[in-house]
Structure 1
């Protein structure tokens, strides 16, 4: 926890308990789902605190997508007001994440990005072109999840004024089809009597990858800005980050061969970028 002398553990998938590092003993129960009035869930599988630790994001009902990614139902507990509510009533979400100031939660649903204002309860959609096997906003495609090891492709600025994100155009990628059977844990009910076919975008070595672009969204103006990452589309953007003062977006850019890395600083308002570091290996 923030004080550096305590940690938390879940208990029976229904409580969050605070412990002392020094003694290993329980200090207090921070959250007990059984004591929440009119709670719509009985258990949770994971949780996350806001930076000030006054709010908790609870995760339940996980549904696997690829090896690491999943969609789920998210709920929010406000320990100050003792309010407990679902993040969204409009379908399962992915990658829900508090803003640094704890006033917002960004998440992905059906390949689009949404932001929930926790003060007023309204949900805003900030991308509109997301579509299965064509366009992905805020979450990586299969290649990025497997090869670069991350599942969340959006980054809050430290001052909570911007959300930077990656957009993957995988309409140019060839599809690969798999036979889907009922299976178990959980089973696919739709394939109980007859197997189905699932097609997803899977670029083989040397084939066309997704075309990746970088965007910033300013919460106050609701303006989305394209970040200049150069004209070459046959590249990777394995990470974004922010400078501590939130003045610049940091973009990591790699060539397809992955023997050249550029670090760019980009202005989140204008999209202009400048290289600040390049590393190249000729081998």
Structure 2
């Protein structure tokens, strides 16, 4: 958030608020929902986050915290923002090739060299990359690595994230955790798959499989929804276990223009017709 001391960089022109793309200011306070910014020229200006255009809600500004980083030749870094013109991508890994006076030369993941002179905006948009999270690690490979998992981060301890972590390391992987048994259970019971709307409404977001009673109750709810939205919707939100059970009980769409208490197909009559056909009637 807009914590005092953080820097707000404007990534788009906000004409109505008087800010241009490329401008930045340091947060000195928040009053009546307005962020007070100290600009480089000494001026104090106010910025209203609630007045951001809807289409720029998440892209108009970047908030970051200043910190000093000592860089040395050979250091592994990552970009925390992008520079599309130079092909520097957010989250991409680079290495410090050399340091010559006020200029740092980096080698990006595509092998290209880029000179970053003093004052280059990308010097404020990088961080050391010796420790990264699983999201950033996707697509990367390392010979050796240390995976750190805490029982307190239970929502992050999923089989999906664990799989990503261990498959990023080609040779030697070391797991460091504060509670091996608890973390193991968390990984085993949480798949990391996106939770469906029905699961969220029922509170079944802890990753545990529902029992038979819960499955039956959910299936009834899904039948009601399927009457209005079609069976494709209902089947799309089922877990694998629920899907197997529900497929044994076909779902039907309500006939348009008829009362909600009437069915397009009466299951019993349908079965009776099928039996009659088998008997050759």
Common fold by TM > 0.5: no
Name the larger-Rg structure. Answer: 2
Higher strand share: 1
Higher helix share: 2
TM interval, short-chain normalised: under 0.3
